[in-house]
Amino acid sequence: MLKKLTVGLFLPRQYEVIADNVKKGDMDLLVYPEAHDNWENREKWEKHSKDIKTPIIIGLKDERGAQLGYFYNPNNGFSYTYLKHSTADYVAFQNNDWSPEKNLKVIELNDFKIGLTICHDMYLSLLMRYLTGLGAEILINPSGTRVKRKKWATILRARAIENRAFTFCTLHDIGSKANQAHIFGFSPLGECIRFTNLSNGRKYTSFETASEDVYITEITKEEIEISRNLTNPSLFHLNQIDVPSAIPRKTETILTCKILGNVLNCTYSSFNFSFEFQKTPVFYNCGREKIGIIPIKAEEVLEPEKILDKINSHFDDCKNSTLVFWNHWKNIKEDEYSKLVIPIILARVIEWCSPFIISVESSSKIEGFEIANTSKAIHKVHTLNQSLLFELSRAWGINSAFKMCKVENFAKFQTILSRLEDIKS
């Protein structure tokens, strides 16, 4: 018998409102946004869950300023509470007894395993990586109010591809005069999911969804198994959301990079240095600027723990440097490059607040991507005479990447890395 799970995402225009068009049996799981109500009102939501005979996930906030993801299953009374790790007055890392085992658990529902995070936690890719290491097949991320849709979609798509898991997210649309908030859903192959509006039965893409409605989709074990057994990424059929374009820059903080084979030649101001591709990061002092080149070998870019491990081994240098990540391939097919590598790279630029270079030695293909503005929009870097021109004033690096959960909490990720190794072995 085909195992399936029907997931519903509610997109409300007000806090605390209950989706009143849901009937018994409409779905197997109903998800509400982050901070939808207060922790003290959770019994109201348990009653709602019982009334519709449907498990729910809802974002609640408590008196500490913590954001909580609350799961309740009326069929057996089981509940689980996830504590957000970032961008809140109180985060999980502040718990003295924090550990991956205590704070990162999977929820089992109808033979499916679900990993729960909240909002900006999706930027911390190792959290979802750990959850899928525990067996999570579905990654659910209730978020707050309206977001930059291209940025959110970029991150969620990457989480789906690198973990071969479904990713879902819903929001509030508070104060919107137009349709600005959307739900999000991506398949384990990074494809945009189409949702059915529970009220009118019509199908919508994520970016067509509007507030005050519940949108549902059905997922199967078979889809997950096929994606995880898939060894040929060229079978991916992604529909691009937005393709970045190159934007010329005229500043005094430009790093010029040119690649010949596996050698990277760089110029910053009056300083020149060359880097031959290797396994470990190398750092160069260019006047007041310290620039670190972080090499990422081929498929390593698909595994965030490999990148975290390189950062971890040179943490002090990385923390105090402007970083440039170089992902180098000996050979890769064009469709694999565009459908697998590019979606991941775009997310990595946002995650690490740093430029990324991609090169393919066999085809002389070289591309660069960087953050375009304070909203962390991504664009291709401008090229001049076959050189990439990076604007280092926006290469904010680790201090910015971990600002939302404080840089000192990077040490906690060392624990996750070690636990991931134990899970894999």
Q: Summarize the confidence of residues 218-231 as an average pLDDT.
A: 86
For 393, the token pair is 């004033």
Please give the Cα distance from 97 to 26 (Å, whole number): 40
Q: Summarize the confidence of residues 7-34 as an average pLDDT.
A: 95
User: In this structure, what DSSP letter does residue 191 have?
Assistant: P
Using the predicted structure, report yes or no on whether residue 243 has a pLDDT greater than 70.
no
| pLDDT tens-place string over residues 63-118 | 999 999 999 999 999 999 999 999 999 999 999 999 999 999 999 999 999 999 99
pLDDT computed for residue 268 by the predictor: 95
pLDDT computed for residue 177 by the predictor: 63
The set of residues, in sequence order, having a beta carbon less than 8 Å from that of 25 and lying 6+ positions away, is 53
Burial, 96: exposed, middle or buried (Cβ in 10 Å; 0-12, 13-18, 19+)? Answer: exposed
Please give the Cα distance from 255 to 393 (Å, whole number): 10
The set of residues, in sequence order, having a beta carbon less than 8 Å from that of 42 and lying 6+ positions away, is 60, 70, 72
Please give the Cα distance from 56 to 31 (Å, whole number): 6
What is the maximum span of the chain, computed from C-alpha positions, in angstroms?
70
Question: Tokens 């494809």 sit at which residue?
Answer: 191
CATH 3.60.110.10 domain span(s) along the chain? 4-235
> Comparing 113-117, 140-144, 262-266, 385-389, which segment has the lowest mean pLDDT?
385-389
Strands 213-220 and 195-197: antiparallel
Query: What string of DSSP letters covers 238-295?
Result: ---S----EE----S-EEEEEEETTEEEEEETTEEEEEE--SS-EEEEETTEEEEEEE
pLDDT over 70, % of the chain: 94
CATH number among 3.40.50.360, 3.60.110.10, 3.40.50.11540, 3.40.50.720, domain 4-235:
3.60.110.10
Quick one: pLDDT band at residue 11, thresholds 50, 70, 90? very high
Query: 42-46, 152-156, 341-345: which has the highest mean pLDDT?
Result: 42-46
Q: Summarize the confidence of residues 257-278 as an average pLDDT.
A: 95
Quick one: pLDDT band at residue 230, thresholds 50, 70, 90? confident
- What is the average pLDDT score of the chain? 91
pLDDT computed for residue 330 by the predictor: 93
Please give the Cα distance from 169 to 131 (Å, whole number): 16
Please give the Cα distance from 304 to 190 (Å, whole number): 17
Please give the Cα distance from 353 to 318 (Å, whole number): 12
Better pLDDT: 395 or 234: 395
Cβ-based neighbour number of residue 267 at 10 Å:
15
Q: Distances from the Cα of 15 to the Cαs of 12, 171, 214, 382, in angstroms?
A: 7, 11, 15, 43
Sheet holding 166-169, edge to edge: 106-109, 112-116, 138-140, 166-169, 184-186
SS3 state of residue 101: helix
Q: Which amino acid is at 286?
A: C
SS3 state of residue 106: strand
Angle among Cα 207, 211, 216 to the nearest 5 degrees reads 70
Enter the pTM of the model. 0.94
Asked if residue 176 lies in contact with residue 14, where contact means CB atoms within 8 angstroms, the answer is no
Q: Distances from the Cα of 156 to the Cαs of 160, 170, 281, 336, 340, in angstroms?
A: 6, 12, 28, 19, 14
Q: Summarize the confidence of residues 377-386 as an average pLDDT.
A: 87
Q: Distances from the Cα of 310 to the Cαs of 26, 280, 305, in angstroms?
A: 46, 7, 9
Question: Tokens 């134990």 sit at which residue?
Answer: 422
